[in-house]
Amino acid sequence: MIVRILLAVIYATLLSIVSRKCLHYYQLCSYRCNINYLCLYKSKYGCMLLCLGIITHLALVMLPFFSLSTAFCYALLLSLLLPTGLYVLLSKSKTQLHITRRLLRLCALQYVTLGVGCYFAQLLNSSIILPLLCLFLPLLLPLSNIILTPLELAINYYYLNKASHKLINSACTVIGITGSYGKTSVKNILSTLLGDCIATPHSYNTPLGIAKFINQTDINTTYVIVEMGAKHRWDIDKLCRLYKPTYGIITGIAPCHIQTFGNMTNLINTKQELLLNLPDSGLCVMPDNLRTTTFAQVGKCKRLFVPLSQSSSACKNCPTIDNIKCSSMGSSFTLHYNGKQVECNTILVGEHNIHNIELACAMALYLGVELDSIAQSIATLQPIPHRLCLIKQNGFTILDDSYNANIDGVRALCSVLGMFTCKRLIITQGIVEQGKHQQEQNVLVGQLLSSCADIVCVVGSNSTYITQGLLNKHFDINNIYVANSLEHAVQLLSNQLMGNLLVFQNDLPDNL
C-alpha cells in the first residue's frame, strides 16, 4: 500500500510538472476553455502529450505478451515523463506564468486528481488510466476549474466589492478610458497632464486587475484614471457598474477581438456602454469621426468630438491642433484653445500620438488645467513600452511596436516608418482574433507593409496571408523571410541589422 501511494505521488508530481504548459496556456486564456486554449493540442507540446499517452498505453497493453513486470512498465513511464518535465521547465515563453493564489488552488486540485488517478491505475493494474491521464492532461484544468468555480466566484466578489466600495467612499473622481486602440497611451498622457491623479498601471484593464490596483493603493488624489478593456459584450458595462466613472474617453473604433465579440455591432455596442453609464453631468471625449455615428446619440452625458485632422471643424470648448511636424526624433505642433495657443514638443513619434495627446488635452482642459501647464507636461512625456518605442542598440535601432494588434495600428506604424531613411526590417505576426475576417485583415497588413518595408520576416499562423498581401503589391519575394519563432526571425536578419531599423510588430502571447 505504501509503495503504491509513493508511486502515485511520484507520477502525479511528474504529470503536474508536465502540465505547466497547460497551466500557462489556461492562464493566458483568462481561465477559459476556449478555442485558443484547445489549440494547445496543435502545438508541439500537444504532440508530445499525445505521443506520451500512446506510448504509455502500448507499453501497458503489451505487458502480458512480453512477460514484462509492472515495475518495468512504470519505469518506462518514468523515463518518458522525466525528459518531458525537464523540457517544460526549461522551455522559454514570451510571457511568464504568474504564480497567483488562483493558480495555486487550481494546481492543488489538479495534483490531487492526478494522484488519485495514478493510485487507481496501479491498484487496478490498468492499462488505460495512465495513458488517458497523459492524453487528456490539458482537459483536467477546465474540469478542475469547474469544480472550483463557486469558490472562485465568492473570492472574486469579495475583491471586486472591496475595490468598488473603496472608490465610491473616496472623494476622487473616476475617469474611464476605452476604445479599440490607444487606451494605455491616452491614459498615461492624461495622467501626466492632470498631475493630481493615479492611473491603473501597465495594461491593467480587467475587473480583477483594476480591483487589485485599487485595493493595494492609497487613494488620496483628485482623479483616478481607469483603463477599461473588453473582449465580450457587456464587459464595459460591468466595469462601469463597479467603478462608477464620471468622465470618459473613447479613443477610437476598429476591428479588434472580433473572434470574441462575434461582429462589429457587438464591439460598437460594448464601447457605447461607457456613454450609457456616465451621469448626465458627466462628459465623454471622442474623436470627431464618431460624430455622425450612434456614439452621438446614446446616453445623456455631454460629449466633446475632438477634430483629429487639421481640416476638421472643432466644436465649442474643444482644443485644435495644427502645424504638425513629425520626424524620427519626435513631434511638434501648435495647440489652440479658446483663442489662445501654445507651441508643444514631444519625443513621441507619429501623428497618431499627437491625436492621443489631443484627446487627453481635451479632457484636461475641460477639467481646468491651464494651457501653459499642458505644454510643459507634453514636453515631459515618455514613450510607452511596446508601443512604437525606439530603443538604441549597438550599431542599430529597434522600433518596438509589439502591442500593435489592429489594422489602424499597422497604418500608424507605416506612417512612422516613412520617416526613416535607413533600411527597415520588419518582423510581423500580423493581427489575430479577427474571426472570419482573419485572412482579409492580414492580407491588408501585408499590403500596407509593402509600402514602408525593405525586408519583411513573417512568423506564425498568419504568414501565408501576410505574404499574399506583400506579393499582391509586387513586393520582392527575395526580401520575404519565413521564420518559425521570433528568435529564429532575429537570427535570419542578424547579418543585416547594422546601421538599420529592426521593427517588431505584434509580439503575440504563447496561446495565439
List the grid coordinates of 469: 498581401
pLDDT of 511 reads 44
Q: b or e along 263-300 (b: 16 or more beta carbons within 10 Å of the residue's beta carbon)?
A: eeebbbbbbbbbbebbeeebbbbbbbbbbeeebeebbe
Which of 73-82, 202-211, 373-382, 455-464 comes out lowest in average pLDDT?
73-82
Dump pLDDT digits (tens) for 453-500.
999 999 988 999 999 999 999 999 999 999 988 889 999 999 999 999
Positive/negative CA dihedral, 85, 86, 87, 88: positive
Rounded to an integer, what distance in angstroms lies between the CA atom of residue 370 and that of residue 493?
48
| Residue 81 pLDDT exceeds 80 | no
Regarding the domain delimited by 389-505, which CATH topology (the fold level of the hierarchy) does it fall under? Protein-Tyrosine Phosphatase; Chain A (3.90.190)
Counting Cβ atoms within 10 Å, is residue 138 exposed (0-12), middle (13-18) or buried (19+)? buried
Is it true that 170-378 and 389-505 share their CATH fold?
A: no
Amino acid at 291: R
The average pLDDT across 347-362 equals 93
Which of 43-52, 257-266, 380-389, 404-413 comes out lowest in average pLDDT?
43-52
Residue 148's pLDDT band, with cuts at 50, 70 and 90, is: confident
In percent, how much of the chain has pLDDT > 70? 78
List the grid coordinates of 51: 505521443
Dump pLDDT digits (tens) for 273-294.
999 999 999 999 999 989 888 8
Q: Please list the residues that pair with 35 across neighbouring strands.
A: none
The average pLDDT across 92-117 equals 78
pLDDT of 512 reads 42
Dump pLDDT digits (tens) for 238-270.
999 999 999 999 999 988 888 889 899 999 999
pTM of the model: 0.83
| Residue 13 pLDDT exceeds 80 | no
pLDDT of 308 reads 76
Terminal alpha carbon distance of the chain: 45
Q: Which residues make Cβ contacts (< 8 Å) with residue 448, sequence separation at least 6? A: 407, 410, 411, 414, 469
Cα angle, residue 385 at apex, residues 384 and 388 outer, rounded to 5°? 75
Rounded to an integer, what distance in angstroms lies between the CA atom of residue 130 and that of residue 77?
9
- Backbone φ and ψ for 356, nearest 5 degrees, come out as -60, -40
Give residue limits of the domains in the chain: 2-151, 170-378, 389-505
Name which residue leads in pLDDT, 393 or 177.
Answer: 177
Regarding the domain delimited by 170-378, which CATH topology (the fold level of the hierarchy) does it fall under? UDP-N-acetylmuramoyl-L-alanine:D-glutamate ligase (3.40.1190)
Dump pLDDT digits (tens) for 46-70.
666 666 666 666 665 665 555 555 5
The long-range contacts involving 308-311, CB below 8 angstroms and separated by at least 24 positions, are 308/355, 308/358
